[in-house]
Structure 1
Amino acid sequence: MNTLLTALLLALVGAFPDADALVTEDREEFTLTSATSGELSVSRTVVIQSKDGMDAGQLVLVCDSFRKLVSFSGSVQAGTSKPVKLRKGDLFSMAYSSGLVDDDLTYSYIPEAVNFPVTVHYEYKMGFHGGFASFPGFFPVLDEKVAVEEAEYIVNVPEGYGVKSYATPAFSYECTSEKGRDKHRWSLEGFAPIALEHMMPPTLELIPYVYVSPETINLSGFEGSQKDWKELGQWVYRLQEGRQTLSDEEVERVRTLTAGCKTPLEKLEVLYAYLKERTRYVSIQLGIGGLRAFPASEVSRTGFGDCKGLSNYMKALLAAVGVESDYYVIHTDRPRLLRDYASVGQMNHAMLAVPMPQLEDTVWVECTNPSIPLGYRHSNAAGHDVLFAKEDGGEFIRIPSYPDSLSRMRQLTDVTLFDDASARVSVRRELYLDYVDSYIGFRDLQPLKQTQELTSGLNIMPIDVSVKSVTDNFDQYPSLGRNFVPEMDIEYAYGTNVYGNVSGSRIFLPVNPTSRSLKIQKGKRVNELCLEEPWSREEVITLHLPEGYRAEGLPKDLCLESGFASFKSASTLSEDGKTLTICQALTFHPFRIPASDYSIYRDFARAVNRAYAATLVLTKEQWE
């Protein structure tokens, strides 16, 4: 490395001392060569400053029936050593399958390093053919603690070609026309690294990126428009049109199964169980399969499908017995779609909506997991923006969410303590709404997995764990309608040889061995403190003291209230002094507070953690 280049590199690195990696250059240009083909040219240089920044230097290129790697070259340089050239043959390639059916071929390169900094440089071209619903997105940085010195993205299209885009505020934009071509250019300079912190806003809110799409879709011969959500929804509808045909035998079978049903809801219940019995979820990404459902008859024949195929199959089953439904698309991780940027690339999942006029409700059916109770809007759907695909045009709506107070867990723990600090423990775990999500498949788990699920995070060592009962209200939607909230109760028991510690005539016990402390950041806060989903946890511990022991003192009662959370801790001793009951309840509401107010959260969390970590002392009574 020559002296001038070394000095320049040190200056760039010095500008971002907290960065694990620095993107010194990321220049990408996508050129539309025809209505259905294009080429992406990339030149990217990353300086990796520590082991934690290695991910930023990795290269992953996904190829499929629409895109292929045309050329590749690069280099990697560790410390002051001589750069090592990279060729296409140095890339690791594999036919990657996220499911059973796709056509992905992935090229990757993972640099290795002992000495830092490590500089990696990549230059490559990707060829696209078969048409476009969106153009390549531009993400110069994807991780926290990665800085960007310079980044530029150019989309080169014929003059007057309709392009729509969304770019984060970090970019500057200009469009120039020359020789019959329009060049849309986004540029970025000096992007500071994102601090990795707990309860921070979603990464997509913090990193710089650009989305670009053609206004007119032309993908594998399927033409349409995404000028607005209405036209896009119409295109999604046409993409699935004619793929709901079932065999005559299956139509007759489902009509026989539902012959005794008196309402659309009863038919839906029967066919939802039929779907669970006959199919399973598998990702399918063949050709246009990333957007288009496999025919219902094919899903029926093979017994598997992806979210699109299973939703389309369920739609066909319902239609066969006269029940209307709507196919819609959603992003399960992002509640909000970019409303002013209608684009098919914003969604990653398909589901089904079944209107229930008699209940004044709509059932949002998750066809990839028919174990989810009907009528439940699970946590990856409730409150999310969705696009209905309809013949007369798409409909942009928001799935109703639940009141914050309904997402809660209540755990009743009954402890019989012995004088050697061993104990037998019985637990009743009551789960409501979002807390149910993780336990929907609990009954199907092996005993060891059930034990791990129930005792994970426990601050004592359990032995002889046994599940006594599992009950739920999953079949109550027909009677409760839109007021239905899933509930689940699990009763289990275990023993422990060390519930506390014996020291002379005293036993020292944790006030709440099931608690989990809140995270606290010691240093200066950089990001907003953000919580998007509410939750509430209440724990009631009933402790039966060993014969001849008494509580030396009770934990202090505590009541904390803030704009974002509340906490209560109280304890009571029975009149005979043999039973101690401790109740601790913590509730968080959705909130955002500026980094400058982090001390408010820190003080609250420290007080809660002290209450959780408190110690109870039992003393052996002395008889004269």
Structure 2
Amino acid sequence: MRTFLSLLLAGTGCLLLPTAPAWAYGPAPKYAVADLPAPLRENAHAVIRRQEEALLVKSVGRTVETTRRAVTILDEVGARWASELVYYSSLNTISYFRGAVYDAAGRQLRQLRSQDIHDISLSDGFSLATDARGRVADLSQPTYPYTVEFEYEVVSDNPLFYSTWRPQPVEQLAVEQASFKVTMPAGMALRYQEQHLPAGTAQAKRTQGSQEVYEWQVHDLAAREEEADAPPVAELTPTVFTAPAEFEVQGHAGHLSSWADLSRWTYDLNAGRDELPPAIKAGIAALVQGETDERAKIRKVYHFLQANTRYISVQLGLGGWQTFPASSVAANGYGDCKALTNYCKALLGAAGIKAHAALVKAGSDEQDVLTSFPSSQFNHVVLCVPLAQSARPDTVWLECTSQTNPFGYMGGFTGNRHALLLLPEGGKLIPTPRYGAAENRRERLANVFLDVNGDATATLRTLRTGLEYDGVSGLPGLELAEQKKRISNRLALPNFTLNKVAFKHSGPEAAVPSLTENLALTMPALAPPSGKRVFITPNLLSRMAPPQATVGERQTDLWLDHAFTQQDTVVLHLPASLRPEQLPAPVQLTTPFGTYSSQLLTLPDGSIRYVRRLVMPRTRFARTDYPAYLEFRRKVSAADKAQLVLLKTDA
């Protein structure tokens, strides 16, 4: 039976054909991979198709950040962009979190559903209390390429941190288009600093009603190829840093036009929280009584701290900046980095020694703060103790969160960077201890006993100091099986059995900590005979790999970021029937990139001693110096592989 509508249309002479509604076909395709310009796919694992970031400053106490990002993922390596983690806490609220995924043709496969978003704790696993959490979503697909799109908004009552815009944060990521907008209320100034912006992308400022709007845009950024020994990518790609000139966190107002401003605000926030119980004061006074050496007093107080406290992170709201009172740490025996540093400062005060807390950007892989742009770039607190009685200006630095850290040692976690002293009048940036080639040493002595069949036994003693010590400092505390496993993975020997392991730490007076490792090994078939000859490479332990071949012109500066000294001595104890046919010529290389030497000598008892020494600086060179650096590396690698030929005298 025909409907009234069909009869009406028929009566007017119109023919109505059945058609599916528009929604049945889904949203119109977008982000089709075929639309990507070919240059953006070169050297890229992923391409940002569109990224819009906006910071709306509502007041000195509130900001709103919105992000919308669409990324085409070209292969498995680029799949990291298929997931998104949005942070929140008691001071940061997520307003919305949306997303969708599209196939290669740009057709939407599905939208992000609530059940796809997982709420996770961002606790470090040993925190007593933390409100740091995140919402994470994953839109990974089994077939490449595809495109993911995420959009979210975060309202923050923590305006000490403004956005940092890095549209191209990693290598092998291209950018089709990206923008950044900051909207400031009337009367509030935006502080910003630009780095490595392409020509024509400097900020555009306009007035919108009573607000000031700042905008940056980039487009068609080709992927940067990853290069060996290059500076961090953050130093090479476009970046805009922003920060407030004034702010307020939970009623605590401050200014931020200089490092002194940030220092003063943080100091005032923590002032008056270093009072100790009378019993603790009396105990510290007794601990240092009769001690006349200032450094020795500090060491005793530091060891008291390590023996009586433990680190537990507490980050609740303002607790990210304001410490527990010292009396609380004394009563409970725990605290976070701020609380333990404040407690140690109070303990030293009871011993008559003045100390200052200092903010630092900690992490073994972290770069130094941007010293030219005062802003909140820190994540850790340490203690700085000037030595008032020293004949020359000197300072002791204390890491207060560790029960095992050697006295006065910062290591790779907080060394070789700047820290901000917290002073009532406002502090300044000062350098933390520097660890260069003289401090970062690895010295080895190997005695290798070779028999007529080419089998060998050996003893190996290795001393590591400074940053070389960092990677092995925890070995003595492990089970023997785990010790052997880690040591075996590190030794570049073809076939061996580890029979004995022993360790010895440096004494408490050492300026830089060290660990001595003693090993006993069996090495079957180390140098099997070949006719009348035996071939052996004397450099058993420290061969530098040849440099990778370069394709095309070098794009970045050469950045050698780890200074060190390596010295190896290998003594080959030979049976009476083996004597050297000829010793390889000594090698001596002296270049701006490092110095190298290797030499073999026959000793009076018939053994052969091999000595190798390599010293590398921590410095930067122009990209035009890269071929000369590769040549240095090639010569070192060749010298490291030089073979010693032994003759059988009884053959």
TM-score by length of 1: 0.91
Taking the aligned partners of 1:591 and 1:392, their CA distance within structure 2 comes to 35
What is residue 481 of structure 1 aligned with on the other side? none
What is residue 573 of structure 1 aligned with on the other side? 602
Shift in Å at residue 15 of structure 1? 3.3
What is residue 180 of structure 1 aligned with on the other side? 210
Distance 1:248-1:3 versus aligned 2 partners, 3 A rule: closer
Q: How does 1:424-463 map to 2 (within 5 A)?
A: 424-455=457-488, 456-463=490-497
Tell me whether 1:390 sits opposite 2:390 in the alignment.
no
Shift in Å at residue 89 of structure 1? 3.1
Structure 1 vs Structure 2: percent identity of aligned residues?
26
Answer whether contact 1:172 1:188 (CA < 8 A) is retained.
Answer: no
Distance 1:279-1:460 versus aligned 2 partners, 3 A rule: farther
Answer whether contact 2:31 2:49 (CA < 8 A) is retained.
Answer: no
Taking the aligned partners of 1:311 and 1:558, their CA distance within structure 2 comes to 50
5+ unaligned residues in a row in structure 1: which ranges? 477-483
What is residue 169 of structure 2 aligned with on the other side? 142
What is residue 31 of structure 1 aligned with on the other side? 56
Shift in Å at residue 115 of structure 1? 2.3
Answer whether contact 1:474 1:487 (CA < 8 A) is retained.
Answer: no
Tell me whether 1:166 sits opposite 2:193 in the alignment.
yes
Tell me whether 1:93 sits opposite 2:119 in the alignment.
yes
What is residue 301 of structure 2 aligned with on the other side? 271
What is residue 18 of structure 2 aligned with on the other side? none
Look at both structures and tell me which one has the larger radius of gyration over its CA atoms: 2
The one-letter code matched in structure 2 to 1:349 is: H
What is residue 622 of structure 1 aligned with on the other side? 650
SS at match of 1:470: strand
Shift in Å at residue 218 of structure 1? 0.5
Taking the aligned partners of 1:34 and 1:217, their CA distance within structure 2 comes to 8
The one-letter code matched in structure 1 to 2:383 is: L
Residue range with higher mean Cα deviation, 325-334 or 225-234: 325-334
Tell me whether 1:189 sits opposite 2:219 in the alignment.
yes
Tell me whether 1:603 sits opposite 2:631 in the alignment.
yes
Q: How does 1:270-349 map to 2 (within 5 A)?
A: 270-333=300-363, 336-344=368-376, 346-349=377-380
Distance 1:300-1:30 versus aligned 2 partners, 3 A rule: same
Tell me whether 1:66 sits opposite 2:100 in the alignment.
no
Shift in Å at residue 146 of structure 1? 0.5
Taking the aligned partners of 1:86 and 1:166, their CA distance within structure 2 comes to 36
Q: How does 1:15-30 map to 2 (within 5 A)?
A: 15-30=40-55
Q: How does 1:376-387 map to 2 (within 5 A)?
A: 376-387=409-420
Work out the number of aligned pairs and report it: 613
Shift in Å at residue 13 of structure 1? 4.7
5+ unaligned residues in a row in structure 2: which ranges? 1-25
Pick one of 454, 462, 465 that aligns with 2:499. Answer: 465
Answer whether contact 1:416 1:425 (CA < 8 A) is retained.
Answer: yes
Residue range with higher mean Cα deviation, 507-516 or 267-276: 507-516
What is residue 212 of structure 1 aligned with on the other side? 242
Distance 1:62-1:541 versus aligned 2 partners, 3 A rule: same
Answer whether contact 2:53 2:66 (CA < 8 A) is retained.
Answer: yes
What is residue 19 of structure 2 aligned with on the other side? none
Taking the aligned partners of 1:295 and 1:217, their CA distance within structure 2 comes to 25
Residue range with higher mean Cα deviation, 240-249 or 444-453: 444-453
Pick one of 121, 127, 131 that aligns with 2:149. Answer: 121
Answer whether contact 1:457 1:516 (CA < 8 A) is retained.
Answer: no
Cα displacement string for residues 177-206 of structure 1 (whole angstroms, at most 9, x for unaligned residues):
121111122222222222222211022212
Shift in Å at residue 355 of structure 1? 1.6
Residue range with higher mean Cα deviation, 510-519 or 382-391: 510-519
Shift in Å at residue 296 of structure 1? 2.0
The one-letter code matched in structure 2 to 1:89 is: Q
Cα displacement string for residues 489-522 of structure 1 (whole angstroms, at most 9, x for unaligned residues):
3333222223233434443323212114245121
What is residue 452 of structure 2 aligned with on the other side? 419
Shift in Å at residue 291 of structure 1? 2.2
Taking the aligned partners of 1:529 and 1:132, their CA distance within structure 2 comes to 37
Shift in Å at residue 3 of structure 1? 11
The one-letter code matched in structure 2 to 1:567 is: Y
SS at match of 1:357: coil
What is residue 399 of structure 1 aligned with on the other side? 432
SS at match of 1:274: helix
Taking the aligned partners of 1:299 and 1:150, their CA distance within structure 2 comes to 51
Shift in Å at residue 314 of structure 1? 0.5
Taking the aligned partners of 2:544 and 2:150, their CA distance within structure 1 comes to 44
Taking the aligned partners of 1:35 and 1:603, their CA distance within structure 2 comes to 56
Residue range with higher mean Cα deviation, 81-90 or 303-312: 81-90
Distance 1:103-1:69 versus aligned 2 partners, 3 A rule: same
The one-letter code matched in structure 2 to 1:353 is: C
The one-letter code matched in structure 2 to 1:30 is: L
Residue range with higher mean Cα deviation, 152-161 or 281-290: 281-290
The one-letter code matched in structure 2 to 1:470 is: K
Tell me whether 1:492 sits opposite 2:506 in the alignment.
no
What is residue 83 of structure 1 aligned with on the other side? 109
Pick one of 270, 274, 299 that aligns with 1:240. Answer: 270
Taking the aligned partners of 2:85 and 2:167, their CA distance within structure 1 comes to 14
The one-letter code matched in structure 1 to 2:411 is: H
Shift in Å at residue 22 of structure 1? 0.6
Answer whether contact 2:538 2:643 (CA < 8 A) is retained.
Answer: yes
CA RMSD of aligned residues (A): 2.5
SS at match of 2:389: helix
Taking the aligned partners of 2:32 and 2:189, their CA distance within structure 1 comes to 45
